[in-house]
Structure 1
């Protein structure tokens, strides 16, 4: 018995040493960048905040877009898109913004359904999808339930994902399967944040309009906003992909690649591939509110007296409430928030997993520098 224990311990030690050696060999040291020594006073301060953030949080690269009084006041990218190739991260580099995608999907849904005279409190049965009546497994959700994550739907658990097929599905196939078996993902919770809500809503809208989701989202949101370099992914990885996401290693103070997988193509909840420049345009339109191209969509999403539009989140930045959304998936982290009162908006992106709330910490530093 003692001999078996010794053998087991030796194997365990060898495995641990091998794991740590592998982790070291395939990871990267922290990013070292030259300090910025010149430029306008405020711009230099903001640059310094980003440089310090890269050091403090061990980030490969970051981008920021600031919009004030209807125009872009700061647009910056610092660091690397890929630590192996040393490709620089740029403001026009393709980036994945994860759940910030929900904002674009919500605006598109609002634009399409508002034109059809369907209100947010309407039901999915109002969409006129003939095949929907063939399935009795799902309740008659309201559109606002899906947009506000109050449908009770949940995402697959970790164990369910392990034992399910690892292959990605088209939104069409996923949606048809969900119609047939979605009741098992229904809970009694009054609120349950789940990507399933938006993926299901995107599928339903596509079926209602008899149009693929990519075309629908382009016509209803991206093209009107001038976001010509943005689209929802239909395949991953891309043939030309400079961007890599990262996370901290288990032990060493280094960075290792963090792979991202998409289970649905395109994913209305998290599949937006965009650029920092395009996100600055989205901020401009959102800040224009009643005077902007999305004024009808935002009114529809406010659904009466709601201050926060359906599908949007709220958070505190520099002591006041801002509206927008966080995005975080695998090795990518982002946020987009704006304040009508302050007439200001911020978009932040890093190709690193955020386990330390660095997104909001950096946003607070930037906004407090601009508006002490």
Structure 2
């Protein structure tokens, strides 16, 4: 064998070995991710979940477990549409920042600028609403919530429902997760833009990003590939409790797919909706009146996984639980969506993120 042929042969063998190792590594990662998910979502005849792990804007793992509809015995697929719950808050926060970029409002504005009769509205700013530091009463903790849960409520009616409740603390004094604040933000979006929240999100975010399988929630609209939501009782699964989506409104009434949520994350990275400086406002940790920093930006928790900065948020609404995690330093996005509120995808989503980070470090 000539020297040239020998070199070519060795290079070919090296390529084959490297390719085989990469395939084995990918299969190993896939099987480990499967095993992790199956520790909780292992009932193939019950409702389940969809998970996706993406790197550099593209999925490297995407699978569905369980049923999308128990009555029709339809399996879940990665294309199914789930209710997002509080992951809706990301869209509400970005919509506010879009309006700020357009010069139509400022996060420093007091609520009273838009709702003149709001109690202490001159002391509560849009920033307080975005960061859950307003101190206003969270309507989900009110005993009277059941009286409106299935009623069609206008945004103004929703605000009137909780606005006279005593404040829990002075604005900026504490961080306390608050759905009422995000309902107020949705109402402000409508007042400032002249569009309904549903139309604003649909036209200026979903359509612009190409999120064709994302919607404002509806139990009446025909939504292709809808995942149906369930509760679990002692005697088995039941269909989710019906609510009017005008109640959670801009704090929790959007629905989407894992694929569309990746488009959303990519759009944020590519600054399709906001410029870089404004985008950063959403992912900044802010401070209380005391100067103490808290781990929440505008619509995202700001945390760490495996020592890496992470942006994350979950959601919970009757019949559904969701969780999304993004690692900006490695462009890793992981999302989990469950169609039974009996099983939360939160820990598994975070564990999948840690697993993806470990694998990435091995490759470096």
* Interval containing the TM-score (normalised by the shorter chain): 0.7 to 0.9
Report the CA distance shift for 1:102/1:330 in structure 2 as closer, same or farther (over 3 A).
same
Report the CA distance shift for 1:329/1:319 in structure 2 as closer, same or farther (over 3 A).
farther
- Kept after mapping to 2: 8 A contact 1:119/1:300: no
Correspondent of 1:360 among 346, 353, 360: 346
The SS at the match of 2:250 is: coil
2:44 paired with 1:62: no
2:264 paired with 1:272: no
Q: CA deviation at 1:302?
A: 4.9
Deviations along 1:73-108, one digit per CA (max 9) or x if unpaired, are: 222222211222111212222210100010011111
Report the CA distance shift for 1:124/1:85 in structure 2 as closer, same or farther (over 3 A).
same
Deviations along 1:209-259, one digit per CA (max 9) or x if unpaired, are: 2111112112332222221221212x4354568532233323x5x433332
What does 1:251-290 align with in structure 2 at a 5 Å threshold?
A: 254-262=236-244, 264=246, 267-286=249-268, 288=269
Residue 217 of structure 1 corresponds to 201
Deviations along 1:265-317, one digit per CA (max 9) or x if unpaired, are: 6811100011121012122234x26x554444413435798885322113444
Correspondent of 1:137 among 113, 119, 126: 119
Root mean square deviation of aligned Cα = 3.1
Inter-partner Cα distance in structure 2 for 1:249 and 1:175? 31
Correspondent of 1:322 among 303, 306, 310: 310
Residue 202 of structure 1 corresponds to 186
The SS at the match of 2:63 is: strand
The SS at the match of 1:371 is: helix
Deviations along 1:179-236, one digit per CA (max 9) or x if unpaired, are: xx61325322633322111111101120122111112112332222221221212x43
Inter-partner Cα distance in structure 1 for 2:325 and 2:256? 16
2:175 paired with 1:191: yes
Inter-partner Cα distance in structure 2 for 1:59 and 1:342? 35
Inter-partner Cα distance in structure 2 for 1:75 and 1:325? 19
2:345 paired with 1:351: no
| Structure 2: tracts of 5 or more residues without a match | 1-25, 288-294, 359-364
2:56 paired with 1:72: no
Report the CA distance shift for 1:313/1:210 in structure 2 as closer, same or farther (over 3 A).
same
The count of aligned residue pairs is: 319
Residue 155 of structure 1 corresponds to 138
Inter-partner Cα distance in structure 2 for 1:102 and 1:121? 19
Deviations along 1:149-199, one digit per CA (max 9) or x if unpaired, are: 11111223352224x344422434425635xx6132532263332211111
| Structure 1: tracts of 5 or more residues without a match | 1-38
Inter-partner Cα distance in structure 1 for 2:156 and 2:49? 36
Residue 123 of structure 1 corresponds to 110
What TM-score comes out, normalization by structure 1 length? 0.75
- Kept after mapping to 2: 8 A contact 1:175/1:203: no
- Kept after mapping to 1: 8 A contact 2:149/2:244: no
